[in-house]
């Protein structure tokens, strides 16, 4: 940028000379040029300024160590700043080469080779090597670690820049898990960890990400500083402060006062207020977390839900658009795919969702329930009871009388997975990582952790897709499975949840939503401040 | 006296044992921490790994035995969420909670005692009614609402005070007010009723008959005697303020013990919940024991009656 300013200067002076300006005009023009050049000079001088976040949850030291990444998205709000992965989701792609410059797999799909970047460094100046990649995978103990380690036979490091993963058998999901469905691909420095140990690492983590660790006060804040040697680019903002502000109204107040620049999770009426506040902007993000209605009684011949027309009627009765506008200012994404997010590999796009209560009532009458029926409890995670209330109301309009049964999250998930909610209706959601196959495994096919019943025609497709190494053929099988889920109305899809955030006037590029399905700001090196 | 103290100390230990038993089992009824560390749809292996990591795959009585064993060795366990010793976490938050509680207590005494005295010497008149109204509002308005109104007025509109967090004396003002108001109301009510009791006693009548100035009767003879129950209550309230300012600390993002408890409950961090409740319980039991001993020392009838 400084070079550009230098080039622009003489050219402008020539034009000014040609126009034969007065000395005063020349001085004025020079002053304007100087002012215009200041941001460019500042940028060239390195990172500057500070951005402060109001975070909705308490950060834990386990978030500083990729080896302990559980299957939830929240730790990634920190991992993207501190660390880097061999391959990870980035703007425009779910599998972007990061620490690896390139990768390839052999013909039998049993071996993956990654070639690392020579300019990738850890915060202590050490180069990222193949040994670090191997070490990070081997010490990984977070989500899906048993699965991944059971599939990998051997990791070879032919030289310091090349890593070869040899699988026991062909596994088409290897890269999905390595790049996004686990923390196994995030790389930590072996030498440093050998020196300080696991606990020492959590106290003072060193990564290969765009920001260095400065300090952490549990329950209070995390402070990070720009790592100027980051391979992708030098971050623009010098200092990041992530403050824990658990109360939503307090986060909004802090944003309004300028105490924080970015506030995560501001919902409902508070989001409306945020929109109305001059200088603040709403930044909605669509999460990789679909919400759905599930009919666990559909496999019971005596239940009304056994009749597909009743399930179809329930689908037609849900006013998704109205609900999204009322609860999330219209920022939820209605894909009509119940359990597979649109950002996942092998996602199949169903026909558009339809809201047609009249048609729903006709279907109810055809099914012999013109007068409606008592559907029992509608179980839901209490934090999503606002959605469930609308669904209960929508169902009531076509005669399906359900009683809302909100249950605190931990209890609800335990009840859902232990298959206690056999009577009634369930409103579920999942932000679990994976692809369409992993979602089918959990929520659709026989013995799925959250499947209360199964359909043989779908079940028989499941092993077929798992064995299929050809991407297109596998995609076709998984599409067929999702199509059957849709046609049988096993679920009534609601939407992919809109996660609403706010930013203040100092924020230039916030990066919200640039990585599809990711809830938070990232990549951090792309963040910018507005010129004062 | 020695037997009395031993007996009281025994009761205290029994109370703490029962508290440990209650909190240990009740916190486990609230749900599975693994359900909050993974998304629905996570594999059974991942959930099992979390159970194993936290020792939740063992029988309950074994978990309780281990908990008591480590407790006897002065170890409250390791936080599931923070992965650090609970005692360290508690001690890191304690200074903040003590500071908040101290300021809130000073506020509650400065406001509660004079208004209680004023109400008692002006019974049935304006100041009494105003005091009652103050007490009613203090005891009935939820502290989260008071906190949010304070933030709205003093941070957002007037821009005088920071909305949340810790670090400067200004950060203390709003949470101390929100926390202290409830206790100010309680102290005002107790001061008023205690003063009314004392003002109706024979020695106060005698003092007035002797022609002492009313200010002296109230300040020297009545107030000193009426203060004893207020100070006793304030001591116990201080311990409560330190340990259970959950709502205020959450609204103002104040990094104290109340918020630690809130985080423990939110994440089903059993060791944190157990540790905070037990240490809070121990503080209350200890204060009560000291008060009992003090009373028994002052009044021998107490230890003889019991």
Chain segment B124-173, per-residue pLDDT in tens? 888 888 888 888 888 888 888 999 999 999 999 998 999 998 888 999 99
A379 in Cβ contact with A425 (< 8 Å): yes
User: In angstroms, rounded to a whole number, what is the distance separating the alpha carbons of residues B53 and A306?
Assistant: 41
Q: Kindly tell me if the per-residue pLDDT of A458 is higher than 50.
A: yes
Q: Are strands A84-85 and A186-187 parallel, antiparallel or unpaired?
A: antiparallel
Which pLDDT band holds residue A34 (cuts at 50, 70, 90)?
very low
DSSP A291: E
- Chain B from 265 to 304: CB within 8 A of any A CB: 267-268
User: In angstroms, rounded to a whole number, what is the distance separating the alpha carbons of residues A30 and A451?
Assistant: 71
| Max CA pair span of chain B | 85
Q: What is the pTM of this model?
A: 0.81
Q: Do A253 and B155 touch (CB under 8 A)?
A: yes
Q: What is the pLDDT of residue A36?
A: 43
- Chain B hits for A62, CB-CB cut-off 8 Å, are 81-83
Q: Which two tokens stand for residue A335?
A: 């894909």
Average model confidence (pLDDT) across chain A: 89
**Ordered DSSP codes for A390-442:** HHHHHHHHTTEEEEEEEE-HHHHHHHHHTT---SSEEEEE----S-HHHHHHH
H-run or E-run covering B42: none
Q: What is the pLDDT of residue A21?
A: 43
In this prediction, the answer to ipTM > 0.85 reads: no
Which pLDDT band holds residue B208 (cuts at 50, 70, 90)?
confident
Q: What is the pLDDT of residue B35?
A: 75
Which residue among B37, B43, B81 places its CB closest to the CB of A144? B43
User: In angstroms, rounded to a whole number, what is the distance separating the alpha carbons of residues B224 and B232?
Assistant: 13
3-class SS string, B55-85: CCCCCHHHHHHHHHHHHHCCCCCECCCCCCE
A53 in Cβ contact with A81 (< 8 Å): no
pLDDT (mean) for A350-377: 96
* CA A336 distance to own-chain centroid: 19
- Chain B hits for A417, CB-CB cut-off 8 Å, are 35, 40
Q: Do B43 and A250 touch (CB under 8 A)?
A: no
B30 near A CB under 8 A: yes
Q: Do B255 and A143 touch (CB under 8 A)?
A: no
Average model confidence (pLDDT) across chain B: 88
Q: What is the pLDDT of residue A132?
A: 97
Q: Kindly tell me if the per-residue pLDDT of A414 is higher than 80.
A: no
Rounded to a whole number of angstroms, the CA Rg of chain A reads 27
Q: Do A410 and B165 touch (CB under 8 A)?
A: no
B76 near A CB under 8 A: no
DSSP A143: T
Q: What is the pLDDT of residue A227?
A: 97
DSSP A324: H
Lowest-confidence pick of A20-24, A94-98, A247-251, B10-14:
A20-24
pLDDT (mean) for A429-445: 88
Coil vs helix vs strand at A27: helix
Q: Are strands A48-55 and A262-263 parallel, antiparallel or unpaired?
A: parallel
Q: What is the pLDDT of residue A41?
A: 44
> Chains A, B: CB contacts under 8 A, how many?
151
Residues 6+ apart with CB under 8 A from A451: A442, A443, A444, A445
Nearest CA to A494 out of A381, A418, A376 is that of A381
Residue with tokens 């658990």: A246
Q: Do B40 and A259 touch (CB under 8 A)?
A: no
Q: Do B253 and A243 touch (CB under 8 A)?
A: yes
Q: What is the pLDDT of residue A6?
A: 31
A266 in Cβ contact with A248 (< 8 Å): yes
DSSP A126: P
Which residue among B39, B81, B268 places its CB closest to the CB of A410? B268
Q: What is the pLDDT of residue A33?
A: 44
pLDDT (mean) for A429-443: 88
Residues 6+ apart with CB under 8 A from A504: A255, A258, A260, A261, A262, A279, A280
Phi and psi, residue A235, nearest 5°:
-60, 150
pLDDT (mean) for A316-338: 95
Lowest-confidence pick of A20-34, A65-79, A516-530, B268-282:
A20-34
Alpha-carbon distance values, B175 to A52, A147, A254, B277 (Å):
22, 48, 15, 22
Q: Kindly tell me if the per-residue pLDDT of B82 is higher than 90.
A: no
pLDDT tens track for A48-95: 999 999 999 888 888 899 998 876 788 899 999 999 999 999 998 889
Alpha-carbon distance values, A354 to A317, A381, B203, B237 (Å):
9, 25, 84, 58
CA of B70, closest CA in chain A: separation in Å?
20
Which residues face A167 on adjacent strands? A152
pLDDT (mean) for B99-107: 94
User: In angstroms, rounded to a whole number, what is the distance separating the alpha carbons of residues B287 and B238?
Assistant: 10
**Chain B residue at shortest CA distance from A340:** B41
- Work out the burial of residue A150: count CB atoms within 10 Å of its CB; fewer than 13 is exposed, 13-18 middle, 19 or more buried: exposed
Residues 6+ apart with CB under 8 A from A199: none
- Chain B hits for A263, CB-CB cut-off 8 Å, are none
Q: What is the pLDDT of residue A30?
A: 47
Which residue among B44, B156, B166 places its CB closest to the CB of A257? B156
Which pLDDT band holds residue A8 (cuts at 50, 70, 90)?
very low
Which pLDDT band holds residue A25 (cuts at 50, 70, 90)?
very low
Q: What is the pLDDT of residue B303?
A: 66
User: In angstroms, rounded to a whole number, what is the distance separating the alpha carbons of residues A180 and A129?
Assistant: 21
Which residue among B40, B44, B152 places its CB closest to the CB of A413? B40
For a pLDDT cut of 90, what percent of chain A falls above it? Answer: 71
Residues 6+ apart with CB under 8 A from B304: none
* Residue among B40, B156, B161 with most chain A CBs within 10 A, to mutate: B40
pLDDT tens track for A154-203: 999 999 999 999 999 988 889 988 998 888 999 999 999 999 999 899 99
Q: Kindly tell me if the per-residue pLDDT of B290 is higher than 60.
A: yes
Q: Kindly tell me if the per-residue pLDDT of B108 is higher than 70.
A: yes
Higher pLDDT, A141 or B176: B176
Nearest CA to A532 out of A502, A507, A503 is that of A507
User: In angstroms, rounded to a whole number, what is the distance separating the alpha carbons of residues A449 and A456?
Assistant: 17
Q: Do A243 and B165 touch (CB under 8 A)?
A: yes
* CA A236 distance to own-chain centroid: 23
Coil vs helix vs strand at B134: helix
Which pLDDT band holds residue A217 (cuts at 50, 70, 90)?
confident
* Residue among A252, A410, A449 with most chain B CBs within 10 A, to mutate: A410
Q: Kindly tell me if the per-residue pLDDT of A31 is higher than 50.
A: no
Alpha-carbon distance values, A171 to A162, A205, B127 (Å):
21, 33, 80
For a pLDDT cut of 70, what percent of chain A falls above it? Answer: 91
Lowest-confidence pick of A21-25, A377-381, B110-114:
A21-25
Q: Do A58 and B81 touch (CB under 8 A)?
A: yes
- Chain B from 163 to 182: CB within 8 A of any A CB: 163-166
């Amino acid at each position: 940028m400084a070079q550009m300013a230098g080039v622009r200067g003489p050219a402008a002076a020539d034009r000014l000379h040609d126009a034969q300006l007065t000395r005063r005009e020349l001085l004025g023009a020079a002053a304007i040029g100087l002012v215009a050049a200041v941001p460019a000079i500042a940028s060239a001088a390195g990172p500057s300024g500070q951005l402060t976040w109001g975070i909705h949850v308490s950060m834990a030291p386990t978030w500083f160590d990729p080896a302990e990444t559980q299957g939830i998205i929240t730790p990634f709000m920190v991992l993207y700043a501190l660390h880097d992965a061999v391959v990870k989701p980035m703007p425009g792609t779910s599998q972007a080469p990061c620490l690896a410059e390139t990768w390839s797999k052999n013909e039998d799909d049993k071996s993956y080779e990654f070639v690392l970047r020579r300019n990738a460094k850890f915060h202590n100046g050490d180069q990222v090597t193949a040994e670090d990649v191997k070490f990070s995978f081997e010490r990984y103990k977070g989500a899906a670690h048993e699965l991944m380690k059971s599939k990998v036979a051997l990791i070879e490091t032919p030289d310091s820049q090349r890593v070869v993963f040899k699988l026991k058998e062909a596994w088409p999901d290897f890269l999905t898990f390595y790049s996004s469905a686990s923390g196994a691909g995030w790389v930590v420095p072996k030498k440093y960890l050998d020196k300080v140990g696991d606990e020492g690492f959590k106290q003072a983590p060193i990564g290969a990400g765009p920001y260095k660790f400065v300090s952490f006060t549990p329950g209070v804040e995390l402070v990070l500083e720009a790592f100027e040697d980051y391979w992708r680019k030098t971050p623009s903002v010098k200092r990041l402060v992530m403050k824990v502000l658990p109360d939503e109204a307090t986060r909004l107040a802090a944003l309004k006062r300028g105490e924080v620049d970015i506030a995560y999770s501001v919902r409902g009426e508070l989001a409306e207020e945020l929109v109305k506040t001059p200088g603040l902007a709403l930044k909605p993000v669509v999460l990789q977390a679909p919400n759905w209605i599930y009919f666990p009684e559909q496999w019971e011949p005596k239940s009304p839900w056994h009749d597909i027309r009743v399930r179809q009627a329930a689908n037609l009765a849900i006013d998704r658009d109205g609900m999204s506008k009322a609860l999330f200012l219209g920022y939820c994404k209605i894909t009509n795919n119940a359990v597979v997010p649109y950002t996942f590999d092998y996602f199949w796009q169903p026909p558009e969702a339809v809201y047609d209560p009249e048609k729903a009532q006709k279907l109810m009458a055809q099914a012999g329930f013109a007068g409606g029926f008592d559907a029992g409890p509608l179980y839901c995670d209490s934090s999503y009871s606002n959605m469930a209330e609308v669904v209960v109301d929508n169902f009531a309009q076509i005669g399906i009388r359900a009683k809302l049964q909100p249950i605190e999250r931990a209890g609800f998930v335990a009840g859902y997975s232990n298959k206690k909610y056999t009577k009634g209706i369930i409103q579920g959601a999942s932000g679990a990582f994976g692809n369409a196959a992993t979602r089918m495994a959990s929520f659709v096919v026989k013995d799925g952790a959250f499947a209360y019943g199964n359909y043989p025609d779908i079940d028989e497709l499941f092993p077929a897709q798992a064995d299929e190494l050809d991407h297109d053929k596998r995609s076709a099988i998984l599409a067929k499975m999702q199509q059957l889920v849709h046609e049988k109305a096993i679920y009534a899809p609601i939407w992919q949840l809109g996660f609403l955030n706010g930013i203040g006037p100092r924020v230039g590029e916030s990066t919200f939503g640039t990585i599809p399905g990711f809830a938070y700001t990232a990549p951090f090196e792309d963040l910018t401040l507005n010129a004062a | 006296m020695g037997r009395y103290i031993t007996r009281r100390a025994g009761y205290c230990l029994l109370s703490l044992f029962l508290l440990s038993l209650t909190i240990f089992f009740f916190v486990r009824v609230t749900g599975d921490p693994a359900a909050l560390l993974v998304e629905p749809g996570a594999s059974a292996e991942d959930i099992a790994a979390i159970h194993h990591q936290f020792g939740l795959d063992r029988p309950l009585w074994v978990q309780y035995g281990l908990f008591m064993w480590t407790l006897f060795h002065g170890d409250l366990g390791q936080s599931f969420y923070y992965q650090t010793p609970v005692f360290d976490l508690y001690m890191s938050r304690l200074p903040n909670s003590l500071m908040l509680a101290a300021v809130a207590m000073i506020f509650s005494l400065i406001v509660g005692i004079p208004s209680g005295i004023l109400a008692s010497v002006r019974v049935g008149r304006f100041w009494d009614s105003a005091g009652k109204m103050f007490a009613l509002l203090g005891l009935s308005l939820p502290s989260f609402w008071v906190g949010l109104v304070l933030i709205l007025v003093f941070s957002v509109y007037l821009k005088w005070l920071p909305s949340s967090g810790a670090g400067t004396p200004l950060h203390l003002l709003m949470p101390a007010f929100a926390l202290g108001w409830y206790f100010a109301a309680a102290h005002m009510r107790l001061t008023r009723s205690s003063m009314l009791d004392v003002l109706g006693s024979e020695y106060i009548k005698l003092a007035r008959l002797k022609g002492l100035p009313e200010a002296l009767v109230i300040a020297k003879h009545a107030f000193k005697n009426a203060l004893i129950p207020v100070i006793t209550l304030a001591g116990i309230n201080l311990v409560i303020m330190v340990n259970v300012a959950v709502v205020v600390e959450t609204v103002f993002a104040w990094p104290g013990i109340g918020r630690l408890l809130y985080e423990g409950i939110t994440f089903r961090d059993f060791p944190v919940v157990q540790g905070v409740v037990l240490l809070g319980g121990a503080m209350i039991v200890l204060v009560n024991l000291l008060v009992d001993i003090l009373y028994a020392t002052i009044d021998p009838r107490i230890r003889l009656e019991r």
